[in-house]
Chains A and B, each alone.
Chain A
């Protein structure tokens, strides 16, 4: 019974993971232009 319970997956967990990966993508897409901007303006 307990094993069965462990196997049960939250139907929203895949979606949650997906949203986290999208957030990480946002972070990457934010850092990249920041670095470019600072590097090209000579502040880095």
Chain B
């Protein structure tokens, strides 16, 4: 450039190459790798202004400790294949969650588009460094997680498993991350970035809930045998960790892996197949298909006005699409689901069934305060400008949107639970318990929503304050199931009367709380 001073000799790196007008590909790759690793390991701390605090080390320790605890619980009394498969599955799911959030996340995509893809770096170097970087992070994280199971496996199955377990586990997680990354690339090309974001959060949710449920049910299956797992031996044998366990046993003990070796080969080939398909597809403009927005018909039950419809649509979209909210809220729902699955699996007597369903119908309400606690936190927390600029009080508008959204969700959820209940107990009892649950939810909901102190979707999820232990939400989580069980004891006629009363009061509460504007359409 014209006005630039000539750089002093020896004061800047790559001077010789600069004079030749190029930087060697190796140095380009090295610089890219260092910057990516700095961003991965220290990026979060630096963005928040702290110096030298890493994000990987504490995560590695806490999750490594979890895998250690899981292995310590199982290494003495569990059969080798079950020990290998269970521990590998636990470590692999933890690694997949971390890789999905940190490495394959959309923040990296943005940074790459802005800085890396605009630089004159050769495609070959970029792709090689990308691969090395992903493998290095995978190695760093996953080795930390499988160390404890591998060492404890020495007492379970023999010294050779100290290296066989990490090796097979790394191969397996590499293949699975490859499949995930190539699928993400494919969806990005086919359906655009919004579909990719939805896919990522669905997979994350599935992994988080699966981790919770899987570790509970998996522990039981490890001690009592595969038949105690829902889906039994067939399901467990169709999962990659079992194939990995058989591969490890083949390497160490020479046990014939049979068809599982071929399934593993298929697993490693799948990413290449998907990549091949992706490479021939043209990149579509990043808009995604247009969707027609509809106001849920059920919302009409609360006599919503035009302003209500707008805020309801906005809240439903943000609640459904926000990655931070999905990540925090949906795993919470995993707990009631786990309760249901575990109870059904444990086998309940006929006299207990009404109480069991009373509990199932009211668990969503018991967890509602925790779900509402996360409402102010959103990845796109700048999105709250919409409510801030509106003609009404922003907090009131936000609360109205949340109230209507959760009322609609409750209606839908109780309908699904009714269908489930109907299959077990028949029409009458299922309808009564569903309507009682709904009436109770509508009556309590406005009071719960009033406890939201911050504007919905206005806070950075990094600043999340956890709910107080022993506070209101905890108390309600204990009281609601007790109340639900109590309602199941009262006679049917009185129950129906109470149900009608709760529904009328609840509907009025929802329709009249935090009302926007005076004109009604």
Contacts and interface: CB of A to CB of B under 8 A. Distances in A.
**Does A associate with B in a complex?**
yes
Contacts of B332: none
A28 to B, nearest CB: 7
Interface string B110-140: 0000000000000000000000000000001
B147 to A, nearest CB: 5
A9 B147 CA distance: 34
Contacts of B367: none
B147 A26 contact: yes
B155 A26 contact: no
A18 B37 CA distance: 10
* Interface range for A: 20 to 34
Given A14-B42, A18-B56, A22-B56, A33 B140 contact: no
B147 A29 contact: yes
B41 A33 contact: no
Given A14-B52, A18-B56, A21-B54, A28 B61 contact: yes
B144 A41 contact: no
Most chain B CB within 10 A, of A11, A12, A33, A34, is at A33
Contact of A37 (B64, B143, B154): B154
Contacts of B57: 18, 21-22, 25
B34 A30 contact: no
Most chain B CB within 10 A, of A12, A28, A32, is at A32
A44 interface: no
Contact of B147 (A12, A15, A33): A33
Contacts of A36: 68, 72, 152
Contacts of B42: 14-15, 18
Interface residues of B, number: 28
Interface string A1-41: 00000000001101101100110011011101110110011
Contact of A32 (B54, B68, B75, B154): B68
A33 B144 contact: no
Nearest to B34: A12
B71 A33 contact: yes
B54 A33 contact: no
Nearest to B75: A37
Contact of B155 (A11, A15, A21, A37): A37
A13 B154 CA distance: 37
Interface in B139-196: 140, 143-144, 147-149, 151-152, 154-155
B451 interface: no
Interface string B55-75: 011001100110010011001
Nearest to B41: A18
Contacts of B52: 14, 17
Interface string B302-341: 0000000000000000000000000000000000000000
- Judged by DSSP, the binding face of A is helix
A33 B72 contact: yes
Nearest to B145: A29
B54 A18 contact: yes
B160 to A, nearest CB: 15
A5 B144 CA distance: 37
Contacts of B64: 25, 29
Nearest to A40: B76
Contact of B34 (A11, A17, A29, A34): A11
Contacts of B41: 15, 18
A15 B42 CA distance: 8
A29 B147 CA distance: 7
Contact of A22 (B34, B65, B72, B144): B144
A17 B149 CA distance: 27
A26 B76 contact: no
Contacts of A15: 34, 37-38, 41-42
B148 A32 contact: yes
B72 A14 contact: no
Contacts of B68: 29, 32-33, 36
Contact of B60 (A25, A30, A41): A25
A40 B52 CA distance: 38
Contacts of B38: 11, 14-15
Given A15-B38, A32-B68, A26 B143 contact: yes
Contacts of B60: 22, 25
Interface of A: 11-12, 14-15, 17-18, 21-22, 25-26, 28-30, 32-34, 36-37, 40-41
29 contacts: A11-B38, A12-B34, A14-B38, A15-B41, A17-B52, A18-B41, A18-B42, A21-B54, A21-B57, A22-B56, A22-B140, A22-B144, A25-B57, A25-B64, A25-B144, A26-B144, A28-B61, A29-B144, A33-B147, A33-B148, A33-B149, A33-B152, A34-B151, A36-B68, A37-B152, A37-B154, A37-B155, A40-B76, A40-B155
Given A15-B34, A15-B41, A30-B147, 8 more contacts: A11-B34, A25-B64, A28-B61, A29-B147, A30-B148, A33-B71, A33-B72, A41-B155
